[in-house]
Each structure stands twice: as C-alpha cells, then as structure tokens.
Amino acid sequence: MIRDDLSQLDAIYFPVDGSVFITAPPGYGKTYVIGERMKYLISSGYIKPPQKLLALTFSNAAANEMKDRIDRVLRNSEVYIDIMNFHSFAYYLLRLYGNYIGVSRNFKIVSEREKNKFKKNFLDNYITSNPTSGLKIYDLISQYNSWYIKKHLQSKEYTTKFQELFEHLRNSMNEELISSSNVDYDHLLFKSIELLQKNPCIRNYFFDKYKIILADEFQDTNRIQYEL
C-alpha cells in the first residue's frame, strides 16, 4: 500500500468548507486517509471541544476497527471524535430525545427473530386461507423482504402481485410490534429522521456539535441512511 501519495494528500488536506468523496479498491488506504484527515482537522484547530467529528460506519466491527486505528495515532481521541455506526447514532438520538416524537426513551429493540416469527405466522395464515395458491412460506417471506428493501429502504418504484398483501403485513407488523416502547432497527433510522425534521432546536444542536462528518463505505448507504 502506498502511503501519502498525491491523491491521498489531496483528500487529507482538502478544504474544510467542502466535501470530498474517496474511491479506491480494497486495501488502497481509504480508512488510513480518514484517520489522517481526522488528525489534520484536529491538529489544525478546526475541531474545538465540545465540538466533535462524527465518523459513521456500517457495523460495530468497522467502528471498533476505526477506533483502534485512531487511538494508535491520536491521544485522547474520544475528546474529539465520536465513532459509531448509523444505527448506533440513531439509537443515541432516540435515547436522548425520543420522547419528543412519542417514543419512550426506554424503548426496547424488536429482534429480527421476533419479526421473522411475526412474518411467518402472518403469511402462514394467508397460505392456509388460499390452499390452491401453491405458495411456499419461505419463498413468500423472501419476496416480502426483497419488496420491503426496494420500496421502503431504497425508495424504488417497485410493485409486485402481492403488493396489497405485503402492505398489509408491513402495517400489521408496525401496529403490533412497533410502538412507543418498541422499535426495530429500521425504525431507529425512520424515527431519528422524524425527530430531526420536527424539532429544529435538536437538529441545530447536532449541527453545532458535529461540524464535520466522515462516512466509511459511503457508497453503501441506502436512502434512509443517506437522509439521516
């Protein structure tokens, strides 16, 4: 891996009032550049506590790896940088201010296992009521999951012959599993966006706290993560 070639230096010292997108194959130092960018922004005085950098990743493992790398090159990094994944950031927002939009700050996370059980029971009942359909439960669940991702996470114009059934399933799941005290991982994002849209004071507080955001693997963001 080449360290500090000209393109890396361009990204590390890019003007702070602009945005830069770094693209390169795996192993070419993108995370290294993010770390050096953080060092530059902090050492140059662009980040002055209580302001912080916000670094977003897609998994806890990636966030922990980034923390380890930053800790090796920057003392007291936690004073200057918050590193977390998108869902952790949303969780943090709702734990602090969820009550502003009717979400209990002591909410419980609905597990994927609970959701899958609900989907299976719902669709099992549909198949039992339509015995001549020839549908298989796990094929139908797979089709629902694909429909949900495309329509509600990626916001694509996507329809299916089971459109009405799938909308009914989604609404039923939201009514019976998702509530003021229960959210799933997607609703962490949906509700965080709602919180920030409806409460300018809270939104501005975070704008003031996080003047600069760095996102690892930014190309993988779906519409909801990007909107947040």
State yes or no: pLDDT of 216 exceeds 70.
yes
Residue 29, amino acid: G
Cβ neighbors of 136 (< 8 A, separation 6 or more) are: none
The pLDDT score that the predictor gives to residue 63 is: 86
- What pTM, to 2 d.p., does this model score? 0.83
Per-residue confidence at 4, pLDDT binned at 50, 70, 90? low
Q: What is the pLDDT of residues 37-61, one digit of tens each?
A: 988 998 899 998 899 999 998 888 8
What confidence tier does 72 reach under pLDDT thresholds 50, 70, 90? confident
Task: Report the percentage of the chain scoring pLDDT > 90.
Answer: 54
The answer on pLDDT for 181 being more than 70 is yes
What percentage of residues in the chain have a pLDDT greater than 70? 98
Residue 5 phi/psi, 5° resolution? -75, 175
In the predicted structure, residue 1 carries a pLDDT above the cut 70 = no
**Tens-digit pLDDT profile for residues 76-118:** 888 999 999 999 999 999 999 999 999 999 999 999 999 999 9
Provide the pLDDT for residue 69: 80
DSSP reduced 3-state for 181: coil
Q: Which two tokens stand for residue 164?
A: 């009405």
Beta bridge partners of 57: 85
pLDDT at position 221 is 85
pLDDT of residue 205: 95
The rounded distance, in Å, linking the Cα atoms of 115 and 109 is 11
Q: What is the mean pLDDT of the segment spanning 128-150? A: 89
The answer to whether 223 and 61 are in contact (CB under 8 A) is no
Burial bucket for residue 72 (CB in 10 Å: 0-12, 13-18, 19+): exposed
Asked whether the predicted pLDDT for residue 3 surpasses 80, the reply is: no
